[in-house]
Structure 1
Amino acid sequence: MTTIYLIRHGQASFGAESYDKLSEKGELQAQRLGQYFKNILKESPYVVAGSMHRHQQTAQLALAECFPHSQVVTDSQWNEFNHQQVFAQYEPRFNEPHLLKSDVAQHVNPRAYLAKIFEGAIKRWTGGEYHHEYEESWPIFKARVETALQDLCDELAQTKPRYAVVFTSGGVISVAAGKILELNPNRTFALNWAITNTSMTTLRLVGNEPQLLSLNEHHFIKADDSELLTWI
Structure 2
Amino acid sequence: MGELLVIRHGQASFGADNYDKLSDLGHRQSEAVGQLLRDTGWVPDRTITGTLTRQKETLASMGFEAGDTHPGLNEYDFQNLLDARYKGAVPELVKGDRKVHFRTLRETVFQWQADEIEGPAETWANFTDRVEAARLIACAEGAERVLAVSSGGVIGQLTAASLGAPHKMMMTLNLQIKNTSITKFVFTKSAFFLHEFNATPHLMSAETADMLTYS
TM-score normalised by length of structure 1: 0.84
Q: Deviations over 1:6-63 (max 9, x none)?
A: 1110011112222111111111111111111111234443100111000100011102
**Aligned with 1:149 (options 135, 159, 169):** 135
Aligned residue type for 2:130: R
Single out whichever of 27-36 and 142-151 deviates more from structure 2: 142-151
Structure 1 pair 34/42, CA: closer, same or farther in 2 (3 Å)?
A: closer
Q: Would you say the 8 A contact 1:222–1:228 is kept in 2?
A: no
Aligned residue type for 1:229: L
Q: Would you say the 8 A contact 2:59–2:66 is kept in 1?
A: no
* CA distance in 2: counterparts of 1:94 and 1:24, whole angstroms: 29
Structure 1 pair 103/43, CA: closer, same or farther in 2 (3 Å)?
A: closer
Paired residue total: 213
Q: Does 1:210 align with 2:192?
A: yes
Q: Does 1:23 align with 2:23?
A: yes
Q: Displacement of 1:119 after TM fit?
A: 1.5
Q: Does 1:197 align with 2:179?
A: yes
* CA distance in 1: counterparts of 2:166 and 2:190, whole angstroms: 23
1:183 aligns to what? 165
1:84 aligns to what? 79
1:107 aligns to what? none
TM-score normalised by length of structure 2: 0.90
Q: Displacement of 1:151 after TM fit?
A: 2.9
Structure 1, unaligned runs of 5 or more: 105-109
Q: Displacement of 1:94 after TM fit?
A: 3.7
Q: Displacement of 1:207 after TM fit?
A: 3.1
* CA distance in 2: counterparts of 1:29 and 1:189, whole angstroms: 23
* CA distance in 1: counterparts of 2:106 and 2:37, whole angstroms: 33
Structure 2, unaligned runs of 5 or more: none
1:139 aligns to what? 125
Identity %: 28
